[in-house]
Every structure is written in C-alpha cells, then in structure tokens.
Amino acid sequence: MKLNFLFPEGRGKALTFSYDDGCIYDRKLIEIFDRYGMKGTFNLNSGLMGKGRRLPESEIRELYKNHEIACHGLNHETMPKLSLLSAVEEILEDRKNLERISGKIVRGMAYAYGARSPETNRLLASLGIAYARRTCEGSFGIPDDFLEWQTTCHHAHGLLEKGEAFLKLKSNLFLMYVWGHSYEFEDQGNWDLMEKFCAKMAGQEDIWYATNIEICEYLKATKEIVTSADCRILYNPTALTLWGVWGEERFRILPGETLRKE
C-alpha cells in the first residue's frame, strides 16, 4: 500500500527563508516577514556583532523572537581553510554564544561563503548541527542530505517568477527556499521585491510557512515512521504529529500513535 507524506495540516508545499550576517537591515526584513506571516532563519556571526552594519548583541533576542537563529561561524571564516581545531571553535563557539544570547537551542548553520569540505562537514553532527545550508541554487525539491542543503534561489535570481511557478505546483511535498542578505535590498534599493513576493505568497492554504529547523525536523521525523511489511500498520515513534496520504486516504498520526487499515 502506497504511503506518501505531506507537510503539517496536510499541506503539499513549504516556504522558508535564510538570511545571513545579522545586519541592521534585518530589522526591516523581519517587519515584512511578520506582517505577511512568513518564517525565516537568520544566520549570525556572534564574534562580529556590533561591528560595521551588524546588529549589536543587545537586539538579538527580541528582534528574532518569531524566527530561527542559526550559526554562520564565529568570525565568518572560510571553513575549508581552517585547521580542524579552528573549525571546531568557529562552529562550537558560535553556537554557544548564540544560545546564550537567544535563550534557545541553536541547531542550524549556513556555510560562510557557501564553502565546505568533507572534513569540516563530518564535524557538524558531533557539534549538534542538524542541517547546513549551501549557496548553490536548484529546484523545489526536498534535500537528500541536510548537511548539503541547496536553496531554490537567491532573491535576486528570478524570485517573483519562481514564486509564480511554485504557486502553480499541484502535486505534493515541494519546498521553496529563498536566501540572501538583507543589506542587498538596501544597497540595491529594491525592498519592493520582497514586499511583492511576500504579498503574493501570503495566506496560501497549501503552503506551510516554516523555519529551516522546523522543516528539517519534520522531514526527518517522516523517515522514522515504522510500517508493517504490507504497509497496513503505521507507528509514529517521534514527538511530532505527521500527515500524509495512505493508499487513497489522507491521514494524521499523533506522537506514539498506531494506525491500522483492515
């Protein structure tokens, strides 16, 4: 019997954002996100806070309270260039600092400059990192490897056109992942681009608006579902409620619940 998963509340699509460096223009970007009901992940360098156009530590907890804070490296170093010990410090100290500042557990990361290597990638899980975002762009697909998470597009690369294509998708489990830096809107004088995009995408019944970690945790939980050999019994060992299509019927399975088909 065929089993396919959906996003929360039976939605077929998810939209998420990832913005880097913690610049002062995140204030305006977050105001736009909050007004339209969007959810974003903001990747911060705790060792650089308050320098140049970067936000001071004192603003972090309140400003990002409705969104996710993730690591971007203590000092925005290029990871493959670092020794193993320096790479550990770049990630772990950033995570510790961000958790202290935000009061939340930090489990995500965006690679500074998009640079990574097999050696530094192997560190991430042991340092408590659940996912890491690259800068390369692709499709509306679901990531195969959350430590090599590709985006759909940078906001400067056909954002509105890709948004239109995303809205037209009718089948299930598609993800649109937008990334960038908030200072780019200020430098290029095109804040209206994000305003138009969020206005177009807001209030869609078939879209889940989620942070990076929410999507990561949900999709990983779907992999933990236990089925009987004939797929007529489902057991959810996770702490999350999951949705999907089982045979011809939609279903919801609660944490610890077992479902059966006669």
| pLDDT computed for residue 120 by the predictor | 83
Question: CB of 151 within 8 A of CB of 136?
Answer: yes
80 lies in which domain range?
Answer: 12-212
In the chain, the largest separation of any two C-alpha atoms, in whole Å, equals 64
Judge if 64 and 136 occupy the same domain.
Answer: yes
Phi first, then psi: give them for residue 23, nearest 5 degrees.
-85, 165
Judge if 45 and 125 occupy the same domain.
Answer: yes
The reported pTM is: 0.96
Judge if 19 and 64 occupy the same domain.
Answer: yes
Angle, nearest 10°, between helix axes 118-126 and 84-102? 40
Judge if 78 and 141 occupy the same domain.
Answer: yes
| pLDDT computed for residue 122 by the predictor | 87
Phi first, then psi: give them for residue 232, nearest 5 degrees.
-105, -5
Provide the residue-wise pLDDT of the chain in tens; the chain has 262 residues.
899 999 999 999 999 999 999 999 999 999 999 999 999 999 999 999 999 999 999 999 999 999 999 999 999 999 999 999 999 999 999 999 999 999 999 999 999 999 998 888 889 999 999 999 999 898 999 999 999 999 999 999 999 999 999 999 998 899 999 999 999 999 999 999 999 999 999 999 999 999 999 999 999 999 999 999 999 999 999 999 999 999 989 999 999 999 999 8
Residue 4 lies in a domain: no
Residue 245 lies in a domain: yes
C-alpha span between 18 and 111 (Å, rounded) = 12
The length of the chain is 262
Phi-psi region for residue 209, left (φ > 0), alpha (ψ -120 to 50) or beta? beta
Judge if 244 and 175 occupy the same domain.
Answer: no
Judge if 148 and 245 occupy the same domain.
Answer: no
Residue 2 lies in a domain: no
Judge if 243 and 118 occupy the same domain.
Answer: no
